[in-house]
Structure 1
Amino acid sequence: MRDALCLWMRHETRPNEQRAALAPEDARRLVERGVLLTVEESAQRVFPVHQYAAAGCEIVPRGSWVSHCPAETYVLGLKELPDEPALLRHRHIFFGHAYKGQAGARPLLRRFEAGGGVLLDLESLVDVDGHRLAAFGHGAGYAGAALAVLHRRGLLTSPLASASRSALDATLRLAPAGESLTAVVIGAYGRGGRGAGDALRTAGVEASRWNSTETRTLDRDALLAHDILVNAIGTDHPVAPFLTRADLDDPRRRLSVIGDVTCDVGSDLNALPVYDRPTDWEHPVERLRRRPRPLDVIAIDNLPSLLPAESSRAFSADLWPLLLTLREGSPVWERCLHAFRRAVGSLDGG
């Protein structure tokens, strides 16, 4: 077993992050195929650790990857790493959000550069045409659109709490009598857009579905005539803004809620430069305007964790077969490695 693939799934340190990169049933599939899989204890993970032990995983204390993980092992996670150690020497697999100029990207890449480690960013896990092979897009779109509808109906409470899909659906179906809401989903045919469309359909909200054809020559008056905007685009290059601050003051504006699923705030790729910081579970809504009518934005960057079990299982089902190819020189992982090397190579002395 000396040449076996070794994976170490770490505890997620971010508050409210209950998702897992691997569900227990997929952990078992990997173990049955000869993978040595170590799983850290985690009180907040949606799947109890005994399910991973039953699947044949070795269980270790949370955070122990820092001092006990062998150098040849891949460290698997979802969201950001803790601030320590300052030098990252392992090969890490997680959503680094480090290639679009996001806040914190440069320091993270410097840590890998200094420690000799590697980031195989799950954002770069794509096929030859650039399509994501494992993503939380559907869950993000579903949760983002659901929150926007619930807020518009006055049913959104804070702080937010995770739920099951069935419980969220039951709340979405509580439409007030005589309600006539309209929504527009931009990026409607990607994973996030389809998820948003499913949530709006469950809520009984009429939805316009826009994609590149509609945004190439954007009908801003038509956009402002909807009650809800859900932004679910995926882009690797800057696009013309869908909304500007001047649009927010348009007296004809009916739009009252923005659900920004993409949440590229702080990046040159941000298509909604009308707010300057993401919202969170404690304060999910930020008011942008009070007149001519209230306009609020919901921009949470870990939306799928609101549906942790369902979104984790869907993501894990996509990911586990790809993990089996880590040591085979797979083009999929080579693309991740190339993206990392390109990003580190672009660092300057600043």
Structure 2
Amino acid sequence: MKICIIKEHKYPPESRTPLTPAQVAFLRDELDIDIVVESSESRCYSDAEYRNLRVPVVNEIEGCDIFLGVKEVPPDKLISDKIYFFFSHTIKRQEQNKHLLQTILVKRIRLIDYELLTNMHGQRLIAFGHFAGMVGAHNALWTWAKRSGSFTLPRMKDLMHYELAKEIYSKITIPPIKIVLTGTGRVGTGALLVLRDMGIKQIEPEAYLEGSFNYPVFTQLLPHHYAAQKDGDPFDKSVFYNDPSEFISTFWPYAIGSNIMINGIYYMEEAPAFFTLKEMQHTDFNIEVIADISCDIAPHSSIPSTVRISTIDDPVFGFDPQTGLETQPFQSHAVDMMTIDNLPNELPRDASKAFGKQFITRIMGELIKTDPSEMLERATIAEKGHLKPGFLYLEDWLNS
């Protein structure tokens, strides 16, 4: 079994890697795993950093059996009858990756999606979400700083690692603004970390709505804070996740009382949006900056102003609620939207190190053991030219 860390071909450029030089060296030297790295000029760790630890850096990869990437692999780069690990973004029928999955079937590739690697309780074992939350929260405040001119903040992408950001946070003064954060998973905890490191005080939702503060504050919402059952019954979390269509949004008080929104929820198709376009047009709608880390594109989204993905190079666009159209950012009549979908790429070395640690401690043992792995089986979307049973629902979409 020979493993290869492949180069990324995604545009905008992706610089993260599944395993750092030190981690690959550990697998080779301590566990005697045959693993090489495909040469790349865009990776956050240079070829030289791998070579310095006696890791082979190669240009020819056809002789490898298992390929580890980060983002989607272009169909023409896929090698038949191999095993691939990457984030495929196909299980929600993402149209832009339809041809990718079709090609995987034609080439009889086994596709194992990181997003589907879970324990027996269905909990994800490996993700970049924590770093998406961190960078998303940072960018929310960066956007506010650009819009208001009340303080300055460098981009996370221009800092080598997060410790440098923390040094900067200790020196800035943030005015008394109110921030509402949604999501309590990896994304939410990452955002929470940054807001706290910035010295912004956390307030319970009820006090947040009722209070007036002369310092910056934020609140973190659980589903029962922003949704209610249509029939008036008490909020039931299990019902919400099983049938979100039976709920309505109760987010409006936070839309009135917040300056910034950071959205980190996992959006479910039938769930109510936080607010409608008509509500955004209301004079009481007070949110001026939205950092939508979830990045679900309207109309299939929790935020109607997320009309497109932004990029690390061009992170913010304006949205005019009165016209429902995109406009220039940082205008008083528009809402500023930060909708980057590869946020961890702004902190690639920290994110890659954490991801690699998760892969080594939670996944690698399953990959190298001789018996079949139930974990890897659950995460396999396609194999030997066929969709696996749990993903047969994609068949009609692929054939349409």
Summarize deviations over 1:106-141 as a string: whole Å, max 9, x none.
Answer: 211101111111210111112222221011111100
User: 1:93 and 1:317 mapped to 2: Cα distance?
Assistant: 16
| Match runs of 1:1-350 below 5 Å | 5-14=1-10, 15-31=12-28, 32-61=30-59, 64-65=60-61, 68-70=62-64, 73-85=65-77, 88-154=80-146, 155=152, 161=158, 163-176=160-173, 179-187=175-183, 189-205=184-200, 206-217=217-228, 218-235=250-267, 238-265=270-297, 268=300, 270-289=301-320, 293-321=333-361, 322-327=363-368, 328-337=371-380, 341=388, 342-343=390-391, 346-348=394-396, 349-350=399-400
User: 2:375 and 2:311 mapped to 1: Cα distance?
Assistant: 32
Counterpart residue type for residue 351 of structure 2? S
User: 1:22 and 1:258 mapped to 2: Cα distance?
Assistant: 32
User: 2:13 and 2:305 mapped to 1: Cα distance?
Assistant: 26
Gaps of 5+ in 1: none
User: 2:153 and 2:339 mapped to 1: Cα distance?
Assistant: 14
Counterpart residue type for residue 303 of structure 2? L
* Higher-Rg member (1/2): 2
**Kept in 2: contact 1:265–1:276 (CA 8 A):** yes
Summarize deviations over 1:235-259 as a string: whole Å, max 9, x none.
Answer: 5654211132112212112211111
Counterpart residue type for residue 306 of structure 1? E
User: 1:324 and 1:272 mapped to 2: Cα distance?
Assistant: 40
Summarize deviations over 1:265-294 as a string: whole Å, max 9, x none.
Answer: 2684x3223222100122211111277743
CA RMSD of aligned residues (A): 2.5
**What's the counterpart of residue 327 of structure 2?**
none
User: 1:245 and 1:194 mapped to 2: Cα distance?
Assistant: 28
Counterpart residue type for residue 124 of structure 1? L
- TM-score, normalised via structure 2 length: 0.77
Deviation at 1:313, TM superposition (A): 0.7
**Paired-residue identity, %:** 25
Gaps of 5+ in 2: 147-151, 201-216, 229-249, 323-331
User: 2:182 and 2:159 mapped to 1: Cα distance?
Assistant: 25
User: 1:333 and 1:312 mapped to 2: Cα distance?
Assistant: 21
Worse overlay, 165-174 or 217-226: 165-174
Summarize deviations over 1:29-65 as a string: whole Å, max 9, x none.
Answer: 321212110101112212222333344432102xx43
Summarize deviations over 1:139-189 as a string: whole Å, max 9, x none.
Answer: 100000100101101146789646421333344445446x101111111x2
**Kept in 1: contact 2:289–2:337 (CA 8 A):** yes
Q: 1:183 to 1:232 in 2, by over 3 A?
A: same
Worse overlay, 205-214 or 324-333: 324-333
User: 2:173 and 2:31 mapped to 1: Cα distance?
Assistant: 52
Find the residue that maps to 2:37 and give its secondary structure: strand
